[in-house]
Amino acid sequence: MNIVNSQFIKELNEIRILTLVKNEGIISRIELARRTKISKVAVSEIVNRLSEAGYIVEIGKGESTKKGGKRPTLLKLNPDNGFVVGIEIHSSHAKIALANLNSEIIREEIVHFETGGTIVSVLPEITRCIDQIFSGNPKYKEKLISIGIGLPGFIDYEKGELAFAVTLHGWVQHPLASVFSEKYKVPVVIENDVNARTFGEHLLGAGKDTDHMVCIWLGEGIGGGVIVDGSLLRGRYGSAGEIGYIELGHHIANRSYFRNLYTNQHYFGDILREQHLIDTIKMKLKHQLPEMDIQHFSLQELLDDRNETISALVQEVLDEYAMLLATLCSDLIKTLNTSKIILCGSVVEYSDYLLEKCRDIVKQNMHNIPFQSTPIVVGELKEEGCIKGVIAMALHVIFEPRLKNKSIRTESIMTV
């Protein structure tokens, strides 16, 4: 075995051990050897290196086996031996979070800027906020491992920049990842915001129990993220899951089913976007209940089924919305044979009626098709989905990185 391969295997084994300690919470050296099938001697050497580097700490002795013998030494991760920064960028603000090795957010800030702000004007505001966070505790910068960035649009993973974006005008083909990697001297992961949210739900949220799932985001537009065999599926140019660009076509052949929502839209993303739903509900209520002042109602207030005055009218619109959403879900189930669909966004978070209606229609659509039932659930991470996703991606620099994942650097930056 040559030296290069030997070093590569050594680093992979260190990552496997460190990841297992993180995932298990508390574990012994003997159990590590059993679970990884690495020799006890090699495990001991790896644990010693990780302990010296501060990533693992001993917390005492466990119980002896029924046969007796020495009590095993228990190990756990030292979560404050490394930190990552997560950045979530929108058209008028950015969320910046500092997290430890357990993905626990220690501090979170919001940077506001003018809608349509250029990348040249916005990035200094973001780095200034990061520097302020670091100034409160020098350890954060000293032990910074990596930075994760999530934002809307198609990503050029090789260059670390946006290849296409609708809401971030003027950001395309401008340096993004390199600005942060050059300033902070750490690896930078850049990802589409829906893919980041999908990754977060898979590792930390509603998708923890499956390696085959689809996450559908319903917001300013709609988008999807796909996990296959535990890895994020991007497609040839990184645009897999862009379900908002699926044409309505024959799906809306009978327009009488969509008398409220359909106004000659061409794509699913146009008809299912959150603002269109809000505008449609308000227009219907204004026409049916002209005496009622609903102009300033929030989405949550509109979808509150306890408001009996408007509930029946709102549900008429939600029936149309559910039929379209269920069509997408059914097609994804048939195409990908996914084991779970996770719906994210305020629309489904605020309306149990919409969720149940969507489930019922999917069940009807799949009734005569030989597929097992696919659970459709609401995401657990909610407004923290994207930021936790990029934090999880940033941590995969040292925690068992997905080697198929081009945007996640696999080089080890640990001093071991």
Give, in order, the Cα–Cα distances in Å from 346 to each of 213, 220, 275, 320: 20, 11, 11, 17
pLDDT tens figures, 193-212: 999 999 999 999 999 999 99
412 within a domain of the structure (yes/no): no
Type of residue found at 123: L
Q: Are 122 and 49 members of one domain?
A: no
Please give the model's pTM, rounded to 2 decimal places. 0.88
* 322 and 229 in a common domain: yes
With residue 191 as reference, give the H or E element that holds it.
strand 188-192
pLDDT single digits (tens) 328-359: 999 999 999 999 999 999 999 999 999 999 99
Closest CA to 201 of 399, 361, 385: 385
User: Is 211 a domain residue?
Assistant: yes
In the chain, the number of structural domains is 3
Q: Please indicate, yes or no, whether residues 188 and 49 belong to a single structural domain of this protein.
A: no
Looking at the DSSP assignment, which residues form a beta bridge with residue 156? 161
Tell me, rounded to whole angstroms, the distance of Cα 65 from its chain centroid: 41
298 shares a domain with 184: no
Looking at the fold, whether 224 and 94 belong to one and the same domain comes out as no
Nearest to 408 by CA among 84, 119, 98, 54: 84
Q: Among candidates 283, 284, 273, which has minimal Cα distance to 243?
A: 273
b (16+ CB within 10 A) / e for 91-116? beebbbbbbbbebeeeeeeebebeee
184 and 317 in a single domain? The answer is: no
Domain range enclosing 43: 3-77
Question: What pLDDT shows up at residue 416?
Answer: 31
Instruction: Say yes or no: 288 and 172 in one domain.
Output: no
Residue 304: inside a domain:
yes
- Residue 10: how many CB atoms within 10 A of its CB? 16
Q: Is residue 149 part of a domain?
A: yes
Residue 351 corresponds to which tokens in the numbers above? 């309306």
- On whether residue 288 sits in a domain, the answer given is yes
- Two tokens at 194? 């829906």
For the chain, give the number of residues. 416
> Does residue 328 share a domain with residue 283?
yes
Closest by CA to 146, choosing from 384, 381, 390, is: 390
Asked if residues 181 and 189 have their Cβ atoms less than 8 Å apart, the reply is: no
Please give the structure tokens belonging to residue 88: 């979530």
pLDDT, residue 32, reads 92
pLDDT confidence band for 413 (50 / 70 / 90): very low
CA 208, CA 211: separation in Å to the nearest integer? 8
User: Mean pLDDT across the chain, nearest whole number?
Assistant: 90
pLDDT tens-digit series, residues 4-17: 455 656 677 888 89
Residue 319 has pLDDT above 60, yes or no: yes
Q: Are residues 112 and 254 in the same domain?
A: no
DSSP string, 21-51: HHHHSSEEHHHHHHHHT--HHHHHHHHHHHH
250 in the same domain as 164: no
Q: Which long-range contacts (CB under 8 A, 24 or more apart) does 210-215 make?
A: 210/339, 210/340, 212/336, 212/337, 212/338, 212/339, 212/340, 213/338, 213/339, 213/340, 213/341, 213/342, 214/241, 214/332, 214/336, 214/338, 214/340, 214/341, 214/342, 215/341, 215/342, 215/344, 215/379
**Residue 58 or residue 322, greater confidence:** 322
- CATH label of the domain that carries residue 137: 3.30.420.40
Q: What is the pLDDT of residues 37-83, one digit of tens each?
A: 999 899 999 999 999 999 999 988 877 666 656 788 899 999 999 99
